[in-house]
Every structure is written in structure tokens, then in C-alpha cells.
Structure 1
Amino acid sequence: MQFATILYTLSMFLLCALAAPLNARQETVSNVQCTSKTPLDFHTSNVALLQICGGIAGTIQKCQGRPTSTVGQSGNVRFTINPVIPGDQINISKGRWEQGIKAAFAVCGQNIPFTATFTGGAVKGDVNVVYESV
């Protein structure tokens, strides 16, 4: 009985060790322009981040209603998303949105205002994102 348990444990260890690594999806951002050197409020930014598409918080996983533009705002912080192709519809997922924000912050700094293009996020292509103080 113990031999079987040891054999099972060793085989699971080898299986896990030889399995392909799981890499977090890294969203591509381009045209990143940092528009200020002053970071915006962390909490207000997080609330605004989840206000796009009429609210993408909680169990909602994707922009609802496929709008042609959307704004997420809280206090003096605003995110604006527009498709690169005029008239296209936004269908960005929560994961793609949050990873794109992280990638832009990696360029500009945490909560530093920016403009950028996120790969995907629209039915036919990419989306332009503006993060700003209003």
C-alpha cells in the first residue's frame, strides 16, 4: 500500500515537473503616451476602471451591449475607450482590460495618466484608451 502511494506521488511530481508552464496572458499595448507625471488616486482609479461599459465589476466578464464608445469615471478620474476602427463595437473582457491597464502602467508608472492602444477589445480590432484626470 505504501509503495503504491509513493509511486503515485512520484508519478504526479514528474507529471507536474514536465508539464508545460502556465504563463499569464500578457496583453499587447502600443502607442503608449504618458500624459502626466502625477499619479491619480489609487482607489478612485480602481473604481473608475470597473465603471467601463456601464459596470464590469463582480461576475460580469465582458463589456455588455457592445457600445461604440464607453467611459468609466469616478470622482476626477476617467477612462475612455474608443474602437480604433470608427463605428466598431467594444467587446473587451475584464481580463483583457485589466491586463492592458497593467501593461500601460508598466510603461508610465502606477496610476500615471496615459493614452494607449490595446490589442483586441473590439469586434473588428483594437481599442484606444485614455486614462486621465478631469
Structure 2
Amino acid sequence: MLFTILSIMLSFSSSVLAAPLATRQETVSNVKCTGGNALDFHTVNVAQLQICGGIAGSIQKCQGAPTSTTGTSGNVQFSIKPVQAGATINISKGRWEQGIKAAFAVCGQDKPFSATFTGGASVGDVNVVLKQV
């Protein structure tokens, strides 16, 4: 009986200590770092959530199928446009956040950039710009 209990405890503890699942990494290309100084962290985060008229809270995708969108807070602006003319933006919150992280991994946290995020449009990819305005 004691052996059975120990065996169950060991198998449970090893599953609890298992490595976490890998997070999804979005593909970004054409990354160009366009500024030297990092922008204000809080202002960048607020601007990031302002795309598509607001993608915060329970909203999981860009609503309304816009052909371009901006997210602005203070002196920081994100702009998104589909690469292919005539396409609309339908980027998910997860794809948006992971693309931003991937671009920051190249340029540095909160530093201005331009890049192409894979997917995020009704057809094809989206071009994203973070800049100081």
C-alpha cells in the first residue's frame, strides 16, 4: 500500500515539474530598427492596445475589417497596413503581441521599428510601424 501511494506521489510530482509548453513564436521579416532611444514602456503598451479601435479586454481579433489602423498614446504610434492592396486587417491579439515581441527581440524593447508580420490580413501579411510622433 505504501509503495502504491509513493508511486502515485512521484508520478504526480514529475508531471507538475514537467517543462512548460513552448509559446508560439510569430514570424516577422523585413525588420528595420528606426530609432535609437527606447520609447516610454507604459505609453508603448497603451498604444499597442489601441489598434483596431481597441483590442484590449475580451476582444480577440481586430474588428470591422479595416484597411489600415493606428494605435496612439501620447507620442507613440503603431500603424498597421496589409501588404497586399485591397486586403483588410484581421490580426488576432495573440499574433499581434507575439509579432511585437519578435520585433523587439531584434531592435530592443520599446524601440521604434518597421516590420512585416506573417498573416494578420484577409490575404497575406501586414506591415507594422512603431514610431514616435
Structure 1 length-normalised TM: 0.89
Which range moves more in the overlay, 19-28 or 124-133?
Answer: 19-28
Q: Counterparts of 1:126 and 1:99 in 2: how far apart (Å)?
A: 14
Q: Counterparts of 1:97 and 1:103 in 2: how far apart (Å)?
A: 10
Q: How much is the aligned-residue C-alpha RMSD, in angstroms?
A: 1.9
Q: Secondary structure at the match of 1:59?
A: coil
Report what 1:131 is aligned to: 130
Q: Counterparts of 2:100 and 2:77 in 1: how far apart (Å)?
A: 13
Q: Deviations over 1:74-111 (max 9, x none)?
A: 11100000001111111111111011001101101111
Report what 1:106 is aligned to: 105
Q: Report matched runs for 1:1-134 at 5 Å.
A: 2-12=2-12, 16=15, 22-134=21-133
4+ long deviations beyond 6 Å: none
Which consecutive unaligned segments of at least 5 residues does structure 1 have? none
Percent of pairs identical after alignment? Answer: 70
Which consecutive unaligned segments of at least 5 residues does structure 2 have? none
Structure 2 length-normalised TM: 0.90
Q: 1:21 to 1:32 in 2, by over 3 A?
A: same
Q: 1:21 to 1:46 in 2, by over 3 A?
A: closer
Q: Secondary structure at the match of 1:119?
A: strand
Letter in 1 for 2:89: I
Q: Secondary structure at the match of 2:64?
A: coil
Q: Secondary structure at the match of 1:6?
A: helix
Aligned length: 132
